[in-house]
Amino acid sequence: ERVAVAVLWFVALQAALAYVVAGVVKLREPGWRNGSMLQAVLATEFYGHAPLAAWLRTPAAARAAIWGVIVFELAFPLVFFVPAPWVLALLGTAFLFHAALAVAMGLNAFVWAFLATYPAIFFCATTGRN
């Protein structure tokens, strides 16, 4: 049983680390912090999404959007310290984030890769604390 719990913690912490690393990378890069990288990515042919790119064309909108992502990614480890209803809310928000990326940018694999870790995260954030 202890090995199974350790494996679940490994999966959960790896997922949380993935979110934090993505947030740190964005936080360190001025182009991400000011929203210009988000605008640039959404303007590409491969990852682009014309309606979303048009909506985020103004620097203030792009900056607000990317800072929402940065804060979410950096705050994700809080999932291990909040009550169960908040765990579900954070995981639901994360799922919606990945679903939006799948629709907007075609990053479909991220939905399933991260979604597969959510049962381990939920277990560790609730039952696995003991």
Q: pLDDT digit of tens for each residue in the chain (130 aa)?
A: 899 999 999 999 999 999 999 999 999 999 999 999 998 888 888 888 888 888 888 899 999 999 999 999 999 999 999 999 999 999 999 999 999 888 888 888 888 999 999 999 999 999 866 5
Angstrom CA distances, 33 to 65, 69, 81, 86, 101, stand at 10, 10, 27, 27, 19
pLDDT value of position 103: 86
Quote the pTM value: 0.89
pLDDT value of position 53: 85
The torsion angles phi and psi of 9, rounded to 5 degrees, stand at -65, -40
pLDDT value of position 129: 64
Listed residue (87, 126, 117, 101) closest to 13, CA to CA: 117
